[in-house]
């Protein structure tokens, strides 16, 4: 019996984007500063925090002071130490809301005196913080609307950086990474940008040499900004593909269509497409993968259909309960516990038994707070 899941470029939380261990450094004013993994970077400021040393949770004021201390230490240097930059980035992102807020409040001063060392250092720090925030978020393997909203604290600097990487891609930045810039831009750039940027995006969408994933993601972003013609063309093409080939081909094409409706945040049509795919699969003897059922649960929840969402999640959990399920097809427990897309389903008393069915007895059977 054949088994199908969803395409690798899905927006569903379970299809989080894998990213390299670290971004290459961006040369602001020709100043290299490679970002290291925060897990291995030492934070000298928090290491001396008395509250932390005593095992107490630092207050917001203490966290803010820690961020400021680490950043000012970096800014007071010649700003060439990659190690110190990595430590500073880790300090800023240890509590992203507080750290990004502090950094965002420093950025306006860089416009009045752009050439002074402090301004250059702040812009360089902003660049590395933004890239590391993207890396950490994408490494979480969850994708949901609004997960990059915290970068709004760095506006408009953050969107200027992302547009630059997308439309004027430097040689060090992999072209294959450009698709990963679209979700952050959709979260922080809520209005149609300047004409030259729109023209650049349209040029990418209409360039047949660009990847399908990038072109479709950009088309969805344009639709979000009130220009849906390119996304409509994608939907028309995908609908046509659902009528081609054998049963397995049609199921796969319908799942791709469902995924793109999800990318467009058209959850009603996404849910309808998932139901169609399930019916086609049943008729063609095709067994959907757990991730396909999980994706269906997500869109039903987002569409305000908890009953259908729980039914799909139960199918996913039942497959997980089988000891014969290949380990590569298993989902992570944290998706069930913290994925905001199924927050509605976690409110139902039937959710905890489904969690236990899928993963057995383990710490965390009680749903955790959403990760927004």
- For residues 78 and 284, what is the distance between their CA atoms, to the nearest angstrom? 66
* pLDDT at residue 55, as a whole number: 63
Point out which residues pair with 3 in neighbouring strands: 287
* pLDDT at residue 57, as a whole number: 82
232: closest CA among 243, 245, 244, 216? 216
Model confidence pLDDT, tens digit, residues 147-170: 999 999 999 999 999 999 999 999
313: closest CA among 291, 286, 330, 281? 291
Ordered structural domains, the chain, with CATH = 2-6+244-359 (1.25.40), 19-140 (no CATH)
Full-model pTM:
0.81
Q: Which spans in the chain are helix H?
A: 44-47, 50-53, 60-75, 82-93, 96-106, 108-112, 117-139, 157-167, 182-188, 195-205, 212-224, 229-241, 247-263, 267-284, 290-302, 306-321, 333-338, 343-346, 351-359
* pLDDT at residue 58, as a whole number: 84
Model confidence pLDDT, tens digit, residues 212-269: 999 999 999 999 999 999 999 999 999 999 999 999 999 999 999 999 999 999 999 9
* pLDDT at residue 105, as a whole number: 96
* pLDDT at residue 30, as a whole number: 33
145: closest CA among 183, 177, 178? 183
* pLDDT at residue 15, as a whole number: 34
Residue 123, both tokens: 């812009």
* pLDDT at residue 56, as a whole number: 77
Question: Are 93 and 128 spatial neighbours (Cβ–Cβ below 8 Å)?
Answer: no
Residue 283, both tokens: 């008729």
Give the chain's residues under pLDDT 50: 1-3, 6-53, 364-365, 368-372
């Amino acid at each position: 019996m054949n088994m199908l899941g969803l395409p690798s470029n899905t927006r569903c939380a379970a299809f989080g984007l894998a990213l390299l261990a670290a971004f290459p450094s961006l040369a602001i004013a020709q100043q290299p500063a490679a970002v290291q993994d925060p897990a291995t970077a030492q934070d000298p400021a928090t290491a001396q925090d008395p509250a932390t040393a005593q095992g107490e949770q630092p207050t917001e004021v203490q966290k803010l002071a820690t961020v400021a201390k680490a950043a000012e230490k970096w800014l007071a240097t010649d700003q060439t130490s990659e190690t110190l930059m990595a430590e500073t980035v880790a300090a800023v992102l240890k509590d992203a809301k507080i750290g990004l807020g502090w950094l965002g409040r420093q950025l306006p001063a860089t416009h009045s005196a752009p050439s002074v060392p402090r301004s250059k250092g702040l812009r360089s720090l902003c660049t590395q913080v933004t890239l590391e925030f993207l890396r950490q978020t994408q490494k979480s393997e969850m994708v949901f609307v609004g997960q990059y909203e915290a970068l709004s604290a760095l506006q408009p600097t953050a969107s200027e950086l992302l547009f630059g990487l997308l439309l004027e891609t430097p040689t060090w930045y992999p072209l294959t990474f450009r698709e990963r810039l679209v979700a952050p831009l959709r979260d922080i750039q809520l209005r149609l940008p300047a004409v030259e940027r729109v023209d650049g995006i349209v040029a990418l969408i209409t360039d047949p040499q660009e990847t399908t994933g990038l072109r479709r993601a950009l088309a969805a972003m344009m639709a979000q900004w009130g220009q849906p013609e390119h996304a409509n063309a994608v939907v028309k093409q995908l609908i046509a593909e659902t009528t081609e080939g054998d049963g397995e081909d049609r199921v796969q094409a319908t799942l791709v269509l469902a995924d793109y409706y999800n990318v467009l945040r058209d959850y009603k049509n996404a849910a309808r497409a998932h139901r169609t795919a399930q019916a086609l699969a049943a008729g063609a003897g095709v067994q959907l993968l757990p991730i396909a059922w999980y994706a269906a649960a997500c869109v039903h929840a987002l569409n305000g259909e908890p009953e259908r969402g729980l039914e799909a999640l139960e199918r996913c959990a039942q497959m997980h309960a089988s000891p014969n399920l290949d380990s590569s097809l298993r989902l992570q427990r944290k998706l069930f516990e913290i994925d905001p897309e199924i927050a509605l389903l976690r409110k139902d008393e039937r959710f905890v038994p489904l969690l236990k069915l899928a993963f057995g007895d383990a710490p965390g059977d009680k749903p955790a707070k959403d990760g927004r």
